[in-house]
């Protein structure tokens, strides 16, 4: 009994010793989604700000709530309602099936005796049996089955339609005969495109998109949904939305044949919280299949890099076009015109040679320049006129992200990136 009493007293002492201020206090604040930091590089005065974006759908534009470091709401606004863009196209799918089809056998079954049925009655009788298509075989009047009701009478009807009938009704010397055909094939493979086209309708509504942020301190950072002083120096927040356009298309690949309209990303615009367009960029015709937008912080200059794809036959190649952000004039300008510049490898180990393909013969005064993520030019070398490529040695490069610029002696035509490991 004395032992129990001592334990109780010791427990009470522990409870009394706890400071009254310890614990986790409920602020009473809750949000519909997880608050995300706005990168302080791009908030006014480097203030700590967070953003909560509401869920949205085709009928509702997203709403943004701006929070301070105490999770108090300091601003809120909605993205302007954007009209959806709709496009319709027809698609003929590539098909596989029997190849080199040939007649492997045929024969007749007599239905009526010769002279029993006048020719003028033959068609009426055949139609009553489900044979509705007039034709001839070996110079004799004949009828073929109605494909809407007797598709099984055609060899691989789902692939070839009525091309290979397996049965005819034939009128010969006043008699009716059933003429049957048998088919075989020599192989299985591509047989072209489907007879019937699929109709596909696409609808897309422009909504704010994340910008993938990269700088020298941290090669990959959280995505940027809102910024405040990236594109200009006013007090409003901005976001980027794609510009969708409907374009006429007609192309054939190994998988499909397409005709009609498709929705293409033909540009992007920077929109302020009040709905004002801060800057707008229309992309060149070749830049249509955009994957991502990146922000590269190169010291005092920020670049917007567009990751896009160009289809080459059944394959596609990735390219990166670079735009310089001028927040004094609230503009985004391309660093030269796009060209098919390629580098290999794109993530070389330090000391590895990188092959640069220019995409076209170099002109007089052409040069390849490599710029680090801090904005410092780490290498510059001339390219002889007529050459279509050159080599970069990375032995003297620090590990990190670099932009490779190709200059034709007048303006930079294209840029791509390498990541030295």
Q: Where does 115-255 show beta strands of DSSP type E? A: 131-137, 140-145, 167-172, 175-184, 187-193, 198-204, 212-214, 238-252
| Coil/strand/helix, residue 79 | coil
Torsion of CA 253, 258, 259, 260, to 10 degrees: -130
**Count of other CB atoms within 10 angstroms of residue 129:** 15
d(CA 24, CA 281): 49
Please say whether the beta carbons of 219 and 300 come within 8 A.
Answer: no
Spatial neighbors of 388 by CB under 8 A, at least 6 apart, are 357, 358, 359, 360, 361, 362
| Coil/strand/helix, residue 166 | coil
The pLDDT profile of the chain, 421 residues, written as one tens digit per residue, is 444 444 334 444 444 444 555 578 888 888 888 898 888 888 888 889 999 888 766 667 788 999 999 999 999 998 888 889 999 999 999 999 999 999 999 999 999 998 889 998 999 999 999 999 999 999 999 999 999 999 999 999 988 999 999 999 999 999 999 999 999 999 999 888 888 899 999 999 888 888 888 776 665 567 888 999 899 888 999 999 999 999 998 988 778 899 999 998 888 999 999 999 998 888 877 777 777 888 888 778 888 888 877 765 445 666 777 888 888 887 787 765 555 667 788 778 888 888 888 777 777 778 888 887 766 778 888 888 888 888 888 888 888 878 787 776 554 455 666 778 7
Please say whether the beta carbons of 170 and 180 come within 8 A.
Answer: no
CB neighbour burial string for 326-356, b if at least 16 within 10 angstroms, e if fewer: ebeebbbebbbebbebbbeeeebeeebebeb
d(CA 266, CA 296): 22
Could you identify the residue written with the tokens 């374009």? 247
CB neighbour burial string for 64-84, b if at least 16 within 10 angstroms, e if fewer: bbbbeeeeeeeeebebeebee
Whether this model's pTM surpasses 0.85: no
Of 365, 417, 360, 356, give the one whose Cα is nearest residue 391.
356
Q: Is the peptide bond before 367 cis (omega within 30 degrees of 0)?
A: no
């Amino acid at each position: 009994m004395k032992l129990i009493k001592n334990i109780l007293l010791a427990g009470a002492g522990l409870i009394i010793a706890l400071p009254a201020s310890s614990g986790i206090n409920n602020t009473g604040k809750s949000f519909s989604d997880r608050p995300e930091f706005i990168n302080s590089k791009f908030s006014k005065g480097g203030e700590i700000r967070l953003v909560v974006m509401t869920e949205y759908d085709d009928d509702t534009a997203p709403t943004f709530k701006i929070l301070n470091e105490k999770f108090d709401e300091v601003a809120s606004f909605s993205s302007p309602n954007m009209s959806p863009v709709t496009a319709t196209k027809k698609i003929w799918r590539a098909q596989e099936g029997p190849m080199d089809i040939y007649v492997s056998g045929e024969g007749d079954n007599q239905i009526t005796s010769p002279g029993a049925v006048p020719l003028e009655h033959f068609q009426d009788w055949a139609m009553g049996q489900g044979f509705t298509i007039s034709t001839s075989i070996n110079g004799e009047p004949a009828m073929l089955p109605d494909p809407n009701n007797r598709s099984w009478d055609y060899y691989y009807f789902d692939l070839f339609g009525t091309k290979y009938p397996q049965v005819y009704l034939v009128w010969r010397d006043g008699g009716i005969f059933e003429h049957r055909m048998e088919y075989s094939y020599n192989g299985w493979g591509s047989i072209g495109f489907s007879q019937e086209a699929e109709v596909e309708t696409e609808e897309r509504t422009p909504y704010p998109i994340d910008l993938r942020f990269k700088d020298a301190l941290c090669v990959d950072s959280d995505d940027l949904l809102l910024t405040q002083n990236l594109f200009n120096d006013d007090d409003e927040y901005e976001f980027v939305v794609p510009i969708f356009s409907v374009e006429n298309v007609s192309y054939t690949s190994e998988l499909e044949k397409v005709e009609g309209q498709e929705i293409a990303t033909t540009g992007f615009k920077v929109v302020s919280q009040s709905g004002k367009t801060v800057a707008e960029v229309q992309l060149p015709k070749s830049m249509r299949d955009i994957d991502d937008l990146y922000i590269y912080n190169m010291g005092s200059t920020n670049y917007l890099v567009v990751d896009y794809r160009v289809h080459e036959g059944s394959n596609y190649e990735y390219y990166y076009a670079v735009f310089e952000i001028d927040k004094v004039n609230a503009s985004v300008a391309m660093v030269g015109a796009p060209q098919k510049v390629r580098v290999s490898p794109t993530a070389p180990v330090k000391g590895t040679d990188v092959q640069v393909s220019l995409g076209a013969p170099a002109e007089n005064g052409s040069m390849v320049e490599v710029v680090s993520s801090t904005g410092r030019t780490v290498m510059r070398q001339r390219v002889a006129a007529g050459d279509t490529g050159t080599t970069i040695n990375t032995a003297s490069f620090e590990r990190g992200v670099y932009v490779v610029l190709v200059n034709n002696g007048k303006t930079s035509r294209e840029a791509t990136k390498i990541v030295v490991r």
